[in-house]
Amino acid sequence: MKKNFLKNPNFYYYLFVIIAALELIASILGIFLDLSITSRDNAVNNVFLSVLAIALMSIPKYLKEKYNFRFNNWIEILVLVFLFASIVLGFIQEFYETVRGYDKLVHMISGVVLALVAFESVYIYSGYVAKKKNQSIPPLFIVLFSFTFSITLLVLWEFYEFLTDVITFNLMNNPTNMQRYQWPSTSTFYPQDYGLLDTMLDLLIGAAGSFVVAIVAFVFLNKHEKIEPLLTERDQE
């Protein structure tokens, strides 16, 4: 029976890459055709974001073809959907600005996705260790690595937001506002500007998503003494 294409990561990869490529073409045209400086600044920023989206979405496919490193299909699909939602929809289509709560939703999902990717990677490696070296990696180590790996990437993303805001503030007429430093603080319980509150909430929400994955993963590992494929057998492509 022919495999359902909706369960095939390649379908999502090519769909999202084509959309990102169209965004790239539109942004390049905008650099030359837009009349206002602000519009051209946005176009330049979107060119970078489109290229970034295509590059990041191509990593899982590259790892499979180059090193035969295979995640479960559902995890790979989840990664692709997350990258598309966060970069193409969030930044290029400005969902972060126009859709209330979208930014926090994406940060929560990012914690879940990053922890799942880290967990799956170590889980695969633990299977190799068990088979080749007759050793086992303690479940607690796998879970702690997954959690801390996710937190590290969440922090690096906040570094990226900070550096982007600093660079564009000094070089562009239309600086980015990724850390919401241009938003006034309306908080009645937190004394600092909204930019700091936004950054810390992003980290806390992402950490909460990672923590949920860590707890579920720990329970899962304690119920499986032998290293077996995660949840389901990997679909052969």
Q: How confident is the model at residue 3 (pLDDT cuts 50, 70, 90)?
A: low
Provide the pLDDT for residue 166. 94
Same domain for 71 and 105, yes or no, is no
Structure-token pair, residue 71: 């995640």
Any idea what DSSP says for residue 100? T
Same domain for 20 and 131, yes or no, is no
DSSP string, 47-106: HHHHHHHHHHHHHHHHHHHHH-----HHHHHHHHHHHIIIIIIIIIS-HHHHSTTHHHHH
**85 within a domain of the structure (yes/no):** no
Same domain for 61 and 111, yes or no, is no
CA distances 131 to 23, 69, 142, 145, 189, Å, are 46, 17, 17, 21, 54
Same domain for 109 and 143, yes or no, is yes
Choose one of 76, 110, 130: the last residue of a domain.
Answer: 76
> Which of 62-66, 94-98, 120-124 has the highest average model confidence (pLDDT)?
94-98
Residues 180-208 pLDDT 10s: 998 888 877 788 889 999 999 999 999 99
> Which of 109-118, 168-177, 228-237 has the highest average model confidence (pLDDT)?
109-118
Same domain for 55 and 114, yes or no, is no
- The residue ranking higher by pLDDT, 2 or 214, is 214
Residues 115-137 pLDDT 10s: 999 998 888 888 777 777 777 78
Same domain for 110 and 22, yes or no, is no
Same domain for 72 and 104, yes or no, is no
**84 within a domain of the structure (yes/no):** no
**17 within a domain of the structure (yes/no):** yes
Q: Is 6 exposed, middle or buried (0-12, 13-18, 19+ CB in 10 A)?
A: exposed
Domain span at 167: 100-237
How far is Cα 74 from Cα 156, in angstroms, rounded to an integer? Answer: 25
CA atoms within 13 A on the CB side of 223: 8
Structural domain count, the chain: 2
Same domain for 179 and 124, yes or no, is yes
Residue 164 has pLDDT above 80, yes or no: yes
Residue type, 141: F
**81 within a domain of the structure (yes/no):** no
Q: How confident is the model at residue 226 (pLDDT cuts 50, 70, 90)?
A: very low
Same domain for 70 and 109, yes or no, is no
Same domain for 122 and 47, yes or no, is no
**86 within a domain of the structure (yes/no):** no
Angle, helices 102-132 vs 73-83, to 10°: value is: 150
**231 within a domain of the structure (yes/no):** yes
**93 within a domain of the structure (yes/no):** no
- The residue ranking higher by pLDDT, 3 or 59, is 59
Residues 11-40 pLDDT 10s: 999 999 999 999 999 999 998 887 788 888
**49 within a domain of the structure (yes/no):** yes
Contact 173, 37 (CB under 8 A): yes
Residue type, 79: V
Across 55-59, 89-93, 224-228, least confident range: 224-228
CA distances 168 to 11, 153, 179, Å, are 35, 22, 12
Q: How confident is the model at residue 234 (pLDDT cuts 50, 70, 90)?
A: very low
Q: How confident is the model at residue 56 (pLDDT cuts 50, 70, 90)?
A: very high
Provide the pLDDT for residue 192. 83
Same domain for 157 and 204, yes or no, is yes
Q: Please state the rounded mean pLDDT for residues 108-120.
A: 94
Residue type, 122: V
Residue 170 has pLDDT above 80, yes or no: yes
Choose one of 21, 44, 76: the last residue of a domain.
Answer: 76
Same domain for 111 and 209, yes or no, is yes
